[in-house]
Structures are given as structure tokens and as C-alpha cells.
């Protein structure tokens, strides 16, 4: 366990890491295959990805456990591997984080809608998340990152799961926002910034913000950050943008923001009051090195 994340955050802005999925594909993960198996079968590759982000200057690294609920793993026939795959995810990240880095135990959407849109009840989801989060913390996670959320109700269950099984471990919630034709930010479920952020913080999230998102450019993330900081009322804010707005090229999704552009955006995010900046889709260790260097120019 590293020194307290929240007290460090008041001293200086911190740099989170970037995308995991693209790094796995670059190392040969087949499209559609379960990347979490690599936590056990190819831990050296996962450690190398984390180590590249640490070398880039990232203070926080995120475990390879985005689809780590039993519900999501069952799609790969791995529904009974929640404990070992999540525990291994945290262990390998812990090794790469070293003495001075923090490990965020990553919890993505469980893979379906809660009732009444889907078939899963909040109690069932609580059990799914508790199993995943318990394994992540047992493996050495310093905090839990409930990310890419669209439904505040799902985010809240994530917070409650962490607080009930690991009350000393801080929980971070980040939502994926999109921009409406009217220029307003909301999640895929139609929830606006204030409601989404308030509900996460009221449930006990110690840090809140946004990651990923649909077709947001770097300018959008800066405006979104202003709104989130305004809604968060003093709770620290994390923003993990994609590498710009994606475009399709020959059937592939391409993110084209350069490291320099992301570094410039990172400084504007800090000016908006953000305390942790990382990256989401399309970001690489090169992007994070530029962001990390930019953050280091600000010492408070
Ligand atoms: Zn993303």
C-alpha cells in the first residue's frame, strides 16, 4: 500500500495511465479474445505494458480487468475465473507500480442493463461487483476505479460494493459522456453531468470524473471538465480523454491527437480544476509521457 492517494492529490496533480486494449492488440491479442486471460497466461506482457506507462511517468496504473465481472467473463466461458483473473490483474500491476505508484483496480460496466431495461437486479449486480472488487483488493489494488459508466445506478452499486467489502479502499467513478446536438453533455442513458456526478459522490465516491466518451474532441473534454469540477463541489476530479475524436479509416477507428496536443489539453484540464489526468482510447505511452511532463510543470 502506497502513501495515501487522496492526501497526495491535494499536494500535486497526478498522472494516470492510458489505454490497455490497444496495447494488448499490438502484442497479438486476437480481436474478440479475452485479454484478461493474459493476467495469468502471459503476465510478462501485461507487466511490460504497465511498466511502459510507469516509465512514461504515470503515477497511477490501471489493472487489466475492465470486463472482469462474472457476467462479462461468462461470455468467454470464464464465468468461474473471477477470483484468479482479477487477483492476478492486481498482482501484476502491483509489481509494475513499485514503491511509488498506485494501482487502480479497474471495474468496467458489467455487460448488461439493470432492471427494468435488463434482467439483472441491483442485488445481483452488487454480488458481481463485490466478487470482482474483493479479488482486486486481495491482489494489491490501492483504489477501485469504476469506469466508463453510463448508468448512475450501476456506478452507485459499484461504489457500494467496494465500500461494503473494502471500506478503507477509496473508490473513483468515471462516466462516459457524449455531446448532444444541443451541445449538452450526457451519458448514453441520458443522464446529465450534475446528476451523474452528484449521485456518485453521494454514494461515497472519493474522486469522480469522466473517461472515454463518444466523439468528443479535446476542446469538448476541457468544457466537460469545467462542468464536472463545478458539479463536484470540492471532490477531486479525474479526466481520461480519448486521443481526440475518432474517425473511420479503411474500416478502422483511428484516434489522431498527437502527444503534444494532449499535453496542451492536459494543462487546460488542470486550469479547469482537474487533479488527475490520464488517457482512454487511442492513447499510448508516448501520449502519457507528454501529459506527465506537462503535469510536472505544475507543482501545486
Ligand atoms: Zn475509451
Mean of pLDDT over the chain: 96
How many C-alpha atoms does 295 have within 13 Å on its Cβ side? 28
Q: What grid cell was written down for 23?
A: 496495447
- Confidence at residue 162, expressed as pLDDT on a 0 to 100 scale: 98
Q: Which residues contact 245 (CB under 8 A, 6 or more apart)?
A: 215, 216, 217, 220, 255
pLDDT on residue 31: 87
Output the CA 211–ligand 1 centroid distance in Å: 6
Residue 215, pLDDT score: 87
Contact 162, 206 (CB under 8 A): no
Neighbours of 154 (CB within 10 A): 21
What are the φ/ψ torsions at residue 203 (nearest 5 degrees)? -75, -15
Hey, which CATH number is domain 15-296, 3.90.180.10, 2.30.30.90, 3.40.640.10, 3.20.20.330?
3.20.20.330
Alpha carbon of 193 to ligand 1 centroid (Å): 18
- What is the per-residue pLDDT for 3? 61
What's the gap in Å between 213 CA and the centre of ligand 1?
7
pLDDT band at 193 (very low <50, low <70, confident <90, very high): very high
Residue 137, all three cell numbers: 483488493
Average pLDDT over residues 260-281: 98
Cα–ligand 1 centroid distance for 275 (angstroms): 19
Looking at residue 1, its pLDDT comes to 42
| Distance (Å, whole) CA 160 – CA 146 | 11
Mean pLDDT, range 264-278, rounded to an integer: 98
Instruction: State in Å: Cα 167 to ligand 1 middle.
Output: 28
Domain locations in the chain as residue ranges: 15-296
Span from the CA of 243 to the centroid of ligand 1 (angstroms):
9
Percent of the chain with pLDDT over 90: 91
Ligand 1 centroid from CA 283, angstroms: 9
Q: Quote the pLDDT of residue 253.
A: 85
Q: What is the pLDDT of residues 19-28, one digit of tens each?
A: 999 899 999 9
Amino acid at each position: 500500500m502506497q502513501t495515501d492517494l487522496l492526501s497526495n492529490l491535494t499536494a500535486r496533480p497526478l498522472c494516470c495511465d492510458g489505454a490497455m486494449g490497444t496495447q494488448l492488440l499490438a502484442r497479438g491479442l486476437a480481436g474478440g479474445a479475452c485479454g484478461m486471460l493474459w493476467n495469468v497466461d502471459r503476465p510478462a506482457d501485461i507487466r511490460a505494458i504497465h511498466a511502459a506507462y510507469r516509465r512514461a511517468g504515470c503515477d497511477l496504473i490501471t489493472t487489466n480487468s475492465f470486463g472482469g465481472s462474472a457476467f462479462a467473463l461468462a461470455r468467454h466461458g470464464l464465468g468461474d475465473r473471477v477470483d484468479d483473473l482479477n487477483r492476478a490483474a492486481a498482482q501484476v500491476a502491483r509489481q509494475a507500480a513499485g514503491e511509488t505508484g498506485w494501482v487502480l483496480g479497474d471495474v468496467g460496466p458489467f455487460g448488461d442493463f439493470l432492471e427494468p431495461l435488463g434482467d439483472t437486479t441491483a442485488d445481483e449486480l452488487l454480488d458481481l461487483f463485490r466478487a470482482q472488487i474483493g479479488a482486486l483488493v486481495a491482489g494489491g489494488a490501492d483504489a477501485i476505479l469504476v469506469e466508463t459508466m453510463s448508468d448512475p445506478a450501476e456506478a452507485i452499486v459499484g461504489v457500494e460494493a467496494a465500500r461494503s467489502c473494502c471500506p478503507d479502499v477509496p473508490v473513483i467513478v468515471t462516466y462516459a459522456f457524449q455531446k448532444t446536438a444541443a451541445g449538452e453533455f450526457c451519458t448514453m442513458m441520458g443522464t446529465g453531468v450534475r446528476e451523474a456526478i452528484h449521485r456518485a459522490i453521494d454514494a461515497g465516491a472519493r474522486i469522480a470524473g469522466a473517461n472515454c466518451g463518444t466523439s468528443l474532441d479535446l476542446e469538448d473534454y476541457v468544457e466537460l471538465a469545467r462542468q464536472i469540477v463545478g458539479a463536484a463541489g470540492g471532490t477531486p476530479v479525474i479526466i481520461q480523454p480519448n486521443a481526440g475524436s475518432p474517425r473511420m479509416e479503411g474500416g478502422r477507428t483511428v484516434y489522431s491527437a498527437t502527444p503534444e496536443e494532449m499535453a496542451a489539453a492536459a494543462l487546460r484540464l488542470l486550469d479547469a480544476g482537474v487533479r488527475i489526468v490520464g488517457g482512454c482510447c487511442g492513447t499510448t505511452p508516448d501520449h502519457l509521457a507528454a501529459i506527465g511532463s506537462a503535469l510536472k510543470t505544475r507543482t501545486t
